[in-house]
Homo-oligomer: A and B are copies of this chain.
Amino acid sequence: MKQFDHVHCEQCQQRHSSIFCNTDHEVLADLSDSKSCTVYKKGDTLFHEGGHPFGVYCINAGKIKLSVTGEEGKEQIVRLAKPGDVLGYRAVLSGERYAASAVALEDSKVCFIPKEQFIKALKGDGNLSLETMKLLSHQLREADIKITHLAQKPVRERLAECLLFLKETYGFEQDGACIAVQLSREDIANLVGTATETAIRLLSELNRDGTIELHGKKIKILDLKALTHIANITG
């Protein structure tokens, strides 16, 4: 857990696509002063489900998965975070413990803002509050849609949807076809909400169909149209 050079929030490239996009400069300077910047290596845990929240995590670089543990100990990935995303603020806001664990999917740079500072910033800047509410509302909408799809769609459709979601979230690599994130088959299954074997089987099937191409953990989308069709998406 090395520290990295302190990035000023004001100069942070990610800020513009985050809840801090409209935050007052003075408030921002205050946040910047009180934060610490840490490098997490692949597999490192930022915080644990059930733990007490001490602040919020702002992703500067890297990819993080957020997962909840089910009754039988099985992991369910509930969110994937990318640079600009803020994590742990929900627990801070609701005063509850962390609902999920955050684990780095690759080496990541993350800024930590202590709880009190974040609350202070919220109180001091109406825009930050509004942006936060906006984000929460949006995430809640997405959660409702995910609930609906989990309840109603077959695994095959959900898997296709998951691949499209990964592409939307992290984009493609330089080649313009490979999804720019490397997940284990188990992670994919835990994201889709199915057994690992089923996820592997369906990926193989898509591979055979020529819809995707598998190279180890790399997934290349060959036929985006077909994949969208399989996902059965309206709109």
For the complex, give the distance between the alpha carbons of A136 and B209 in Å.
42
Pick the contact of A143: B69, B93, B144, B149 (CB < 8 A).
Answer: B144
Pick the contact of A90: B79, B132, B141 (CB < 8 A).
Answer: B141
Set of chain B residues within 8 Å of A147, measured between Cβ atoms: 68, 76, 78, 143, 146-147, 150, 193
- Given contacts A68-B148, A151-B193, A193-B152, whether A138 and B78 have CB atoms under 8 Å apart is no
Report whether over half of chain A's contact residues are helix, strand or loop; otherwise say mixed: helix
A126 at the binding interface (Cβ < 8 Å): yes
Q: Are A141 and B72 in contact (CB under 8 A)?
A: no
Set of chain B residues within 8 Å of A150, measured between Cβ atoms: 147, 150-151, 193
Set of chain B residues within 8 Å of A123, measured between Cβ atoms: 126, 130
Q: How large is the interface on A (under 10, 10 to 19, 20 to 34, 35 or more residues)?
A: 35 or more
Q: Are B94 and A134 in contact (CB under 8 A)?
A: yes
Q: Are A145 and B99 in contact (CB under 8 A)?
A: yes
A91 at the binding interface (Cβ < 8 Å): yes
Q: Are B138 and A139 in contact (CB under 8 A)?
A: no
Set of chain B residues within 8 Å of A176, measured between Cβ atoms: none
- Given contacts A144-B78, A144-B99, whether A149 and B70 have CB atoms under 8 Å apart is yes
Interface contacts beyond A126-B129, A129-B130, A136-B137: sample of 14 additional A-B pairs, CB < 8 Å, sorted by A: A68-B145, A68-B147, A69-B148, A74-B152, A76-B148, A79-B144, A93-B134, A100-B144, A123-B130, A129-B133, A139-B140, A143-B144, A147-B150, A147-B193
8 closest A-B pairs by beta carbon, nearest first, are: A151-B193, A143-B143, A94-B137, A136-B136, A90-B137, A76-B148, A70-B152, A99-B141
A-B contacts, 16 listed (Cβ < 8 Å): A68-B145, A70-B151, A71-B152, A71-B232, A76-B148, A76-B152, A90-B141, A91-B137, A99-B140, A99-B145, A129-B133, A136-B136, A139-B140, A143-B144, A146-B147, A147-B147
